[in-house]
Structure 1
Amino acid sequence: MNITVKFFARYREAVGVDSERLVGDFATVNDVRAVLAAREGFEVLNEQNLMCARNEDLCQLDEPLADGDEVAFFPTVTGG
């Protein structure tokens, strides 16, 4: 399965790339997150309040994936 992963805001700065392609067996968004978070420099993806999207729709980490999907990770947004 081919997945495009995008990183936004502080996560993009932490990992040093805007996006990348992953090839592998990923059943859920969390599978992608776990593979990436295990890499050096990508530990930020272990944050408790991580937000994610599949094909530009907000989702939970247990969201199922299909070949060609786009997954995005970004920190929660707070404001005042």
Structure 2
Amino acid sequence: MQVLYFAWVRQRIGLGAERVDPPAEVADVAGLMRWLAGRSPGHASAFAEAGQIRCAVNQAFCGPEHPVRAGDEVAFFPPVTGG
């Protein structure tokens, strides 16, 4: 699974992207976020307020209940505002 990080999520983690292989019990975005939070202090900081992070799976916006699978591209980013 390829995981991409943007804006302040990227700054806190210190990476723009990483390839991960989460355990089988990680079945959705929320589970992936919890699992990622345990990878480093930077990950923990980024995912401390999960409600402040938006997600896309395979370039489609989705919620925390969206399933994730091996081979997916998952992107995390702060809420976006337009003008």
- Shorter chain as denominator, the TM-score bin is 0.7 to 0.9
The alignment of Structure 1 onto Structure 2 pairs a total of residues equal to 78
Which of the two has greater strand per residue?
1
Secondary structure at the aligned position of 1:41 is classed as helix
Please name the residue that 1:51 is paired with.
54
Gaps of 5+ in 2: none
Map 1:25-44 to 2 at 5 A.
Answer: 25=24, 26-38=26-38, 39-42=40-43, 43-44=45-46
Displacement of 1:16 in angstroms is 0.5
Gaps of 5+ in 1: none
Secondary structure at the aligned position of 2:42 is classed as coil
Residues 16-75 of structure 1: CA deviation (Å, up to 9, x unaligned)? 001111113221111211111123111221322210010010000110122200111001
Aligned-partner residue type, residue 30 of structure 1: A
Which of the two has greater helix per residue?
2
TM-score by length of 1: 0.85
How far apart, in 2, do the equivalents of 1:58 and 1:35 lie? 20
Displacement of 1:79 in angstroms is 5.2
Please name the residue that 1:21 is paired with.
19
Aligned-partner residue type, residue 35 of structure 1: W
How far apart, in 2, do the equivalents of 1:78 and 1:46 lie? 21
